[in-house]
Amino acid sequence: MIRAVWFLILVALISLAAAVVADNPGAVSLEWLGYKVDTSIGVLLAVVFLISVCLAIVFRVWFYIRNAPKRVGKARRDWRRERGYKALTQGMVAIAAGDAQEARRQARKAENLLAEPPLTMLLSAQAAQMSGDDKAASKFFEKMSERKDTKYLGIHGMLNQAIQEGDKDVALDLAEQANDLNPKTDNVSKALFELQVQSGNWEEAEETVRKAVKDKHLDTDIGRRRRAVILYQRSAEAESNGKLSDALNFAKRANNLVPGFVPAAVRTSRLLQGAGKRRKAASVIEEIWVTNPHPQLVDVMEELSSGVGAQEKMRSVEKLASYNKDHEESHLAIAKSALVAEMWTEARQHLEAIAQTGSGDVPAARICRYMAELEEGENHDVEASREWLKKAAVAEPDSAWNCSHCSQVMAEWEPLCNHCESFDTLEWRTPPRVTRLASVDLETSNQGSASEEGAGETIDIEANSETNSETGPQPIERPDGGS
């Protein structure tokens, strides 16, 4: 609208000027180089206008010709860049689709066409890695690590390679570098932590956990648990180095960080006992018994009353049980030490108490074995004892320390699984996927006395790699007619 108004004003002005010139033609006389021109002002203006237009056209053509090489160059660069980015995109698509050959082809193309090493190097490295050419990949990662803008990506790539190759020292060094460059990256701090614990750098690992909790990469409770496990290990190392007071200190801190953490309580109690503080040692066990009664705590309690008779030991176990007196483990603990003390009535009373609360047709293997022992000890009834042992063979097996990652069963709890080296994966539970072989031959095995170690049956524990920590105890698989 405004343009139209301006145009009208312009037309009006030109018309006005033309009218003024037409009304006042005037006279112009030029004399130059022997030529003489007489004309009106209107003609002069028209000639000046035409000359200006011609000059403008000439200049335009001249500029066009002069800039032609530049324009051709730019067009060529644009074309290369367009094709380069297309190759880069197609390479990324190939990576996502898992087509290594196509990814490498596109990476080479992008490398030739584009002058942007960070992007093309990353694609080339990934393509090389995908096609199994680790050497080429590490070359790209190294190159990337030398540039400021791609340093982190390069180190991260080299770190993943070192982890895959199992080169822990190199991996640890790279993880530290990556973590320094980008301290708030979750997966690097995770990798760093794992490498630190696997290489035994427990103090540094504790610091990594603290940082991860602070940066909110790690849940506070998980952080506490990890620190408790680390402190447990530091305590064990201090003890083996003869630094008993440090060992006790670490164990106490682990025990305070996570209430109900049985290995830390056991360790603290044993160290207190070693330091001559028997009452304190017992109170640590009694305290955890309230929330987490565990068979290994009974062993510690019995150690605390070593040197005294079986009946006195039984009294101290009874006292421990009184802190959680209706729990199955409390009854079992008393029954076990009553059997040792040959206090048959008490043993029977507590085993029957569990039978009343227990679920399922067959009581747990431990209970069956205790019953077998009781029948033989109290009534000298070998037949009844044998029946109980048969039941023990098909009962749910005793809980043990099981790795939730590789299903390895370990006698003692350790911070790292001694099979797969996973951190804090040992759980107290029924071994997963227990398959009994049909060769359970109770008739031929020696049943003279039932012992804590088992009833002489052959048990084959199959590791089930698919088991994860969340699934808990697995159902028992029994072959048909296996019992």
Q: Does 405 bind Zn ion (CB under 5 A)?
A: yes
Q: Taking the complex as a whole, how short is the minimal distance between the CB of residue 409 and Zn ion, in angstroms? A: 10
Q: Which stretch binds Zn ion (CB under 5 A): 20-28, 264-272, 407-415, 438-446?
A: 407-415
- For residue 239, which of 255, 251, 227 has the smallest C-alpha distance? 251
**What is the spatial distance between Cα 26 and Cα 39, in angstroms, rounded to a whole number?**
9
Q: Taking the complex as a whole, how short is the minimal distance between the CB of residue 429 and Zn ion, in angstroms? A: 14
Q: What share of the chain is helix, strand, coil (3-state, %, to 5)?
A: 65, 5, 30
Q: Taking the complex as a whole, how short is the minimal distance between the CB of residue 422 and Zn ion, in angstroms? A: 5
Q: How many residues bind Zn ion (CB under 5 A)?
A: 8
Q: Which of 417, 434, 450, 455 binds Zn ion (CB under 5 A)?
A: 417
Residues contacting 91, CB < 8 A, separation 6+: 102, 103, 106, 107, 109, 110, 123, 127
Q: Which is nearer to Zn ion, 385 or 422 (CB)?
A: 422
Q: Which is nearer to Zn ion, 104 or 405 (CB)?
A: 405
Q: Taking the complex as a whole, how short is the minimal distance between the CB of residue 78 and Zn ion, in angstroms? A: 57
Q: Which is nearer to Zn ion, 185 or 199 (CB)?
A: 199
Q: Which stretch binds Zn ion (CB under 5 A): 19-27, 416-424, 429-437, 460-468?
A: 416-424
Q: Which is nearer to Zn ion, 91 or 432 (CB)?
A: 432
Q: Which of 86, 139, 151, 419 binds Zn ion (CB under 5 A)?
A: 419
Q: Which is nearer to Zn ion, 162 or 403 (CB)?
A: 403
Q: Does 467 bind Zn ion (CB under 5 A)?
A: no
Instruction: Name the one residue in this structure whose structure tokens are 């090489």.
Output: 69
Q: Which stretch binds Zn ion (CB under 5 A): 100-108, 142-150, 166-174, 409-417?
A: 409-417
Q: Which of 21, 244, 400, 406 binds Zn ion (CB under 5 A)?
A: 406
Cα separations in angstroms, 149 against 111, 117, 143, 227, 311: 17, 10, 11, 35, 74
Q: Does 420 bind Zn ion (CB under 5 A)?
A: yes
Tokens of 44: 């002069």
Amino acid at 71: R
- Cα separation of the two ends of the chain: 99
Q: Does 429 bind Zn ion (CB under 5 A)?
A: no
Residue 196's SS3 state is helix
Q: Does 369 bind Zn ion (CB under 5 A)?
A: no
Buried b (16+ CB within 10 A) or exposed e, 124-137: bbbbbbbeebeebb
Q: Does 408 bind Zn ion (CB under 5 A)?
A: yes
Q: Does 463 bind Zn ion (CB under 5 A)?
A: no
Q: Taking the complex as a whole, how short is the minimal distance between the CB of residue 324 and Zn ion, in angstroms? A: 31
CA atoms within 13 A on the CB side of 256: 6
The 3 state secondary structure assigned to 368-434 is HHHHHHHHHHHHCCHHHHHHHHHHHHHCCCCCEEEECCCCCEECCCCCECCCCCCECCEEEECCCCE
Q: Which is nearer to Zn ion, 150 or 408 (CB)?
A: 408
Q: Which is nearer to Zn ion, 211 or 405 (CB)?
A: 405
Q: Taking the complex as a whole, how short is the minimal distance between the CB of residue 190 and Zn ion, in angstroms? A: 18
- For residue 112, which of 125, 124, 102 has the smallest C-alpha distance? 124
Q: Which of 403, 416, 450, 455 binds Zn ion (CB under 5 A)?
A: 403
- For residue 263, which of 279, 247, 251, 274 has the smallest C-alpha distance? 251
Cα separations in angstroms, 260 against 280, 291, 345, 388, 417: 17, 6, 32, 33, 20
Q: Which stretch binds Zn ion (CB under 5 A): 18-26, 311-319, 344-352, 418-426?
A: 418-426
Instruction: Name the one residue in this structure whose structure tokens are 């997966």.
Output: 187
Q: Which stretch binds Zn ion (CB under 5 A): 58-66, 332-340, 414-422, 455-463?
A: 414-422
Instruction: Name the one residue in this structure whose structure tokens are 């056991």.
Output: 266
Q: Taking the complex as a whole, how short is the minimal distance between the CB of residue 465 and Zn ion, in angstroms? A: 10
Q: Which is nearer to Zn ion, 259 or 473 (CB)?
A: 473
Rounded to 5 degrees, what angle do the CA atoms 368, 370, 375 make? 95
Q: Which stretch binds Zn ion (CB under 5 A): 39-47, 196-204, 419-427, 468-476?
A: 419-427
Residues within the interface to Zn ion (CB under 5 A): 403, 405-406, 408, 417, 419-420, 422
